[in-house]
Structure formats: C-alpha cells, structure tokens
Structure 1
C-alpha cells in the first residue's frame, strides 16, 4: 500500500492553488501555500473578477436607453441629465476594492482550516523540497511529500508593441487608468480582447478592434462569433478583420498601431490582448525533473501528475484549458490523488466556458464548432455522426418580454444514440443557462430525457427543451 502523503507545498495562490490547499487540509494534509502576488491570483486580482465587474458596470451605462425601449421614461419635468457617464477612477477603485475583499476572504478561509500562507517566491530544489525567498530577502526551505505548481500565466508581451503601463496596456495594467480612453485600439480579438473592447465601448470609448483572423473570437462557435461581431458593429465598434498588427508605439499625445499591410490606426490608448504565457521560468523545474512543453507549459496527466514523482501542477501553467474552474478542479484532483483520497481523472467532456460579452456566449463540448443551417430550428448534420439544431430566441416569450433580439440555443447530439455531446447558448446570462446542458453532456443524457424535463414557462430555458424535442428521432427515421 502506498504510504499516505501529508506534507503539501503549493506554489501559487490562484484558483488551482487555494482550492487544492482547502481540499488537502480537509483530508489531513499539512499544507503551506507560497504566494507572491496575492491570494486569488490573476483570476481574482487582475483578470476574471475585475474584468467581469468592469463589464457589468459598462452594462449600466445603457440602462436609460434600454428602459425607453420598454416604455419607461423620466417623469415629466424631471430636471435630470438623462445621460449616464462612467467616472473611471471611481469604477476602478470599486473594482479593485472588491477584488481585494475576495482575496482577503480566501486568506481567511485558508487560515481557518489550518493552511499556512507564506508570502514570497518559491523554487523547487528537487522533487521533495522548495526554497522560499520572502520579500525581506530571507530564504527558507520547505520539505514536501507533495508539491503542487499553480503559478498561472501572465500577458504575452511582443517587442514591437511593448506595454508602458500608461498608453500601451495589458489586461493587468488597465486598472490604473483614471479616465475612459477617448479612442482605444484593442489588438487581439480572442476572449480577452473581445470582452474588454465591448466593455470600454459601453463605458464611452471609441473602440477599434484589430483582428488578424476572418472574424472575432476565431476559436469559438462560428454562429456565435458571427452574431457577436454583428452586435459589435451595430453598437459602433470598428472591427478590422484580416488585419494583423505589426507594431504599436507611442506618439506625442496617443498611440499608433501599424498593420502589416502598412495601414496605420491612431488612438489615445492601446490594449494588447495577444494571449498569455505560463509563469514557469526560474522555478527549478528542470532540476526537479519536471517536463515542460515547447510553449513552456508544465506537462501533466489527467490526475495532474508531472514527470517528477510527488510533483503535480494545475491551472494556466499547464495549458490544459485556461479556465479558473478547470484550474480549481485540477488542483482538487491533484491533492486527492497524492493524499490517497477517492479521485476521478479530469474529464473535459462536461466543462463549460463563457465569454462575457453582451450577449454572453456559453459553450460545452469540444470539437463541435460548425456553422448551423441557415434554416434555423431544423436538425442538420454538423459532422460525421453528429446532428445539431439552432433555435433562435426570437420566438421565445421570455425573450420578447426582456426585449432580447439577438441570441440562440444550439445543441449537438450523437447520431443513433441521440446522446447530447455539446451545446452553445448566446444570451444575457448564458453562463447560467449553459448549466443544464453541461449536466446533460456530463451525464450523457439523450435528447428525449432533456426534452421530457418540464421547464418554467415563460423562460429562456424553455428553448433548450424545445431544441431537444426537435432533435428527437422517430422510429424508422
């Protein structure tokens, strides 16, 4: 029988690290978390929580206009400026305060269950010990039966468009802005670029989105990406497709982005959103026998083991899926496996993801991003052995009540068994609506089981059941 491991050292206090620490403490581990940047990591302090709070704030700016579309107006004679404006200093102060509050809550929870938190930078000496350098320069050694690497990722920096923290910014630096950018150039149309481009558009910026691909969100469902790009343009965003940025530089009073074809785009600020790189340098990985990929990510298996015995890894430093939810699950799986608790290997089949544009795009299932038939509402073949259906929300009564004109549900089912293998939802709060589809995919329910589940009337979720009903195959078909 394998000897039960008890001493756990976690490098990094983000979702992969702190969730692992909580589980390890609950099943008897003596746990130390070594954290350099603040508990919660980028997800809490500079990325997920702040960016989604910014997006939520931007949505308020258009509330008066939205109200008027529903027959709600300011009272007669009301001496009120009907234009909402964002005071960015106040907005960012609130956002950073709530991020810090979340970080403090995480620390309190860790300390409550007996986890030791050490502020400093950790480096593997070997596969059973970690050297920690504290902010005052002192170094100490922590022995470990298990080491979890959860150091995350950081914005990718390109020499020809190097951020300066003032006019040329990464998603870590935007929280220092004191005014809404007059004209913001966003380089990169992936998830981060698309989300923040629309957020600043909503806050009042003139926005130019530079996309090197045929459409925004190139890695997402094509029907969803096409819809979002249409919304962006309708809202006044300038989208430059098939336009690769060669450089971004400061000017006397702003920035200029030079495209590879020689065109120049001028603006007051530029946001560089061209991906992330894992924070795996100078961690002592080679000395400890930890294999990394060509991209610098730590190579792990489905229970988060690395190539070094006793060393595990979780989160964005592994490159499995850049999602806080996946990082947390990887961390939980890692300590459960190392400490001898019951464990199931990571299963990506039921993992859902969300893009917080307006409307949101939520997805579950992999390898299913194919355009649906233009004849919406009818099942079509999407790839060998898979059928799909796209149901617009246009006929949904709840959508009409909420003045929802853009959005849809798309379901994918395996031919023959009719088991649901994926889905896409484009709607406000799609992040909530994707859950029943994710449950169905995770537990391999068929379309008839989903269709026979009674939904609330009226509700957007009713369109999920309706889509499943239309994927039903009658005997003999």
Structure 2
C-alpha cells in the first residue's frame, strides 16, 4: 500500500494542542481499537470506545480465535497419520463437530469478556453501539462523533481531540453466491455447523481458503478446493505452497486450478457451484473464501475529510494518520496488512503519535506472517520472488526438515527452512514450513529486524536435537 501524508491539516497554532486529559474516541473494539484504548488510557487520556458486536471484534469473535481453535482440533487428528510409524496403535478417530464449535464459541466469548474487563479496569469508557464521524473539525479543533447505542438506538454526540477508526473488514460476497448460513457459508458461519460437512467445496485458495480446506479435510470432510490461480497460496513462497498442495493432494483433496466460481446454489440436499467455464462442482456445503472488504461505509468518512482508496480502505501514513485532521485509523479497514499483530501496532502507534510519546513509524518489512495449514507456513522479510522482481542479488539456502534428527524422531517429513541473505551475508528474509512454523520463525524475525548476519545467527547454540537446529544449519550453509 502506498503511504501518504495527510492533506489539508489545519495549522497547529490555530487549534488547542493535544495533551494529557484529552478525550480520545475509538470506533471499533478489535485489536487496533482495544490496544489503542489501553495505550491512551495509560497515558492519561479520557478514552471512549464504541463497539457494536463485542470486544475483540472479528479477530476474537469470528476470525482468528475461533478459526485457529478449529485448526488446533484438526491438528490433533492429523497427528494420527504418523502414529503407525511411531509404533502407536490407534482406532477410528471421530470428530463431534457440535462439541468442537461449542468449545470454540465459548473460548471466543471468554476472550471477548476478558478484553472488556481489562479495558474497564484501565478506565476506558465502553459504549455498545455504532458510531459515525461528523464533518469538522470544530472551531476549537475537536472532532465530533455521533454514537447510536444498542439496544434502544439512543443517540449521543461526543467531542474529542483524537478519533481512531478501527472498524475492520468483513467477508467479500459474490452476487450469485450469497451466503445463506445453511449450505453456502462464509467463514463466520462455519461455527454453527453441528456435523462435519460430507463434501465441502471451498472457493478461494488464499490463506483463509487453504486453512479451512486443510482443517476440514483432516476433520473428515471430502474437500474440493477451487483456485483461480495456478497453485494454492499464490501469495506465499512458491516452494512452501508446493509442499502444502502436495500434502493436500496426498490426503485426498481435489484441487481445481485456474478455475473461477460464477455462482453457487443451495439445492436443498447440497450445493452446486458453477464455474466460469460451465463446469459444475457438487458438494454438501460451500465455503466462500474470496477475500474481505473494509467496513468503511456509513461512517461519514468522505464528508469528514477522510480519503479512501479505490478499494474502500482508509488511506493512512506510517504513524496511522488519515487525511483528516486528528483522525487516525488502524487495522483491516486500512488495508496495510490483514494481521491482528499489525492492527494492534497501528493502534498503539496512533496513540503514541497523537499524545506525544516517542515512537517508531510502522515498518512492515520485518513482520512475520503465518498460514495455519498442516504443515504450517511462516515467513518474514524479503521473499525470493520480491528479490527477483526488484532485480536484487541475494543468496538463498534451503534445508528439508526430513534431514533434521528431531523431525525424524517425530515422524515429520514435510517442510523446510529457507534463509535469504544479501551478498554481504545480512539476513533479509526467511521461510519455515513444518509443525509449529509460526513459533519457529521468531529467531528469523529477530535476525531480519536486527540486521544480523548469517554468521551471527549460526553462532547462537541450539538444543540438540531440535527443529530450530535447522535454522542454524541453513545459516551456516550461507557462511
């Protein structure tokens, strides 16, 4: 995303300065919103947070927490694949989908409640409802926010020195495949299923589609994955995507490459997904995982001077400022990176900047990302593809996990560690594919962020035997 500096900001000397005790109004209680609220309250601001669904937002209620809980269940069943090799006798493994979904909904609700309690203890004023930004600023340099409470619909107007937009995003919908919550589903509706789908058709092979396709395949569904690209996970490292796709096929997944869905119909007994080439894919259920759109409509943003991109995202700079005076934005509504960790950091940076604390502008070059398939995929920093596109000379080393002694002991054969370094040996990026890759990528994140050399990385002793030993070994390959 191109970052821009705010335009049309009034001169600082013409308005009252922001100081301790200033009022901050935050619209949205997801990671960007609640982390910003915590920071601002601790800095002495009078903080008001408006949320219409529940604290934690989509990340806690319908996205990260429930989806990764579902995936954690599928990982337990996946471990039985290598049981025979390890000398373990197992019987039939069954999944109680109603119990799985009851558990994950409870975990999400508990996490939401914990966030609400923590914010209240910090002194944040919590309002249940929706809000919109009113045109402004006032002659005193304040912003006005109209809050509609729920239940009841009572309106109140708040004035604030600072406003933060953290309204998130929602699943994108195709006009001819609208989710009905019964057979045609988006990812927020999967948690109402009482049984494992007999045959799940997943439309979309990005991170969300791949994660759910892999999870339900392991839970016992037949799965057909409809991919518009020539491989699954088109945005990830090509070698990593190849391994994930190979594992999917080995476990019985059917993958329709270079295929687009034109529509989906609930037949009563199942679904029929029509592809743009005329073919029809039939299943019991269909998951539409075709991206997300920002929640920026109906917030009065253009009228308040907040510029939106062509995709409807809020345009921000590296300290989370929008183009409107004293209005900031954080999270998925900005389109910077759709990660809870990035949303949280954007929210913190916004408050540090607005309230006069020291800070580092957001740097997305050293942010680790993970795909919770089985095996997991995690990466950080510069990719091989990005280096190639930029014509940059890099050195790359890669080692399969099948050569790692700890992996052999655990019956792990799928995965690798890859490090991308500069000609001078500075670690620029890395990829880990395998069990717990989301944890194993952390030392590579530190190496990228601290601009360590491969020699410095390999000099740190590792436990023997350990999967992390492969990271040091790959670094030694680049000596």
TM-score of Structure 1 vs Structure 2, range by shorter chain: over 0.9
Aligned: 1:151 with 2:151: no
After superposition, residues 393-472 of structure 1 pair within 5 angstroms as 393-415=401-423, 417-472=424-479
1:119 pairs, out of 103, 128, 153, with 128
Q: Once the two structures are superposed, what CA deviation does each residue of 1:149-190 show, in whole Å capped at 9, x if it has no partner?
A: 000000001101111110000001111111111110000000
Number of paired residues?
A: 456
How far apart are the structure 1 equivalents of 2:279 and 2:264?
Answer: 12
Partner residue in 1 for 2:227: 211
Equivalent pair of 2:377/2:433 in contact (CA under 8 Å): yes
Cα distance in 1 for residues equivalent to 2:473 and 2:247 = 25
Match for residue 343 of structure 1 among 359, 363, 366: 359
Is the 8 Å Cα contact of residues 145 and 310 (structure 1) preserved in structure 2? Answer: yes
Find out whether 1:85 has 2:94 as its counterpart: yes
**Paired position in structure 2 for 1:57:** 73
- 2:211 partner SS: helix
Offset of 1:41 from its aligned partner?
Answer: 0.8
Which residue of structure 1 lines up, in the alignment, with residue 244 of structure 2? 228
* Distance in 2 between residues matched to 1:156 and 1:324, nearest whole Å: 19
Cα offsets for 1:287-341 (capped at 9, x unmatched) = 2100000100000000000001100000000000000000000000000000001
Distance 1:11 1:382, change over 3 A: closer
Report the alpha carbon displacement of residue 261 of structure 1 after superposing the two structures with TM.
1.1
User: C-alpha distance in 1, partners of 2:145/2:85?
Assistant: 60
The 3 A distance-change label for structure 1 pair 62 and 425 is: closer
Q: What's 1:97 paired with?
A: 106
The question of whether the paired residues in 2 share the 8 Å contact of 1:221 and 1:370 is answered with no
The whole-number CA distance in structure 1 between the counterparts of 2:271 and 2:34 is: 39
Equivalent pair of 1:222/1:370 in contact (CA under 8 Å) = no
How much has 1:371 moved relative to structure 2? Answer: 11
Unaligned runs of 5+ in 1: 75-81, 373-380, 473-477
Q: 1:260 to 1:27 in 2, by over 3 A?
A: same
CA contact (8 A) 2:370 2:376 kept: yes
**For 1:109, which of 106, 118, 122 is the aligned residue?**
118
1:43 paired residue number: 59
Output the CA distance in 1 between the equivalents of 2:50 and 2:249: 45
Alignment of 1:14-413 (within 5 A): 14-73=30-89, 82-126=91-135, 127=137, 128-135=143-150, 136-369=152-385, 384-413=392-421
Give 1:68 shift: 2.3
Q: What SS does the aligned partner of 2:48 have?
A: strand
Cα drift, residue 382 of structure 1: 10
Large movers: runs of 4+ above 6 Å? none
Q: Describe the superposition over 1:222-250 as per-residue Cα deviations: whole angstroms up to 9, x where unpaired.
A: 00001100000001110111111111111
What secondary structure is seen at the aligned counterpart in 2 of 1:131? strand
CA distance in 1, matches of 2:466, 2:170: 40
Q: Distance in 2 between matches of 1:61 and 1:83?
A: 10
Q: Partners of 2:335 and 2:134 in 1: how far apart? A: 23
- Superposed CA RMSD in Å reads 1.6
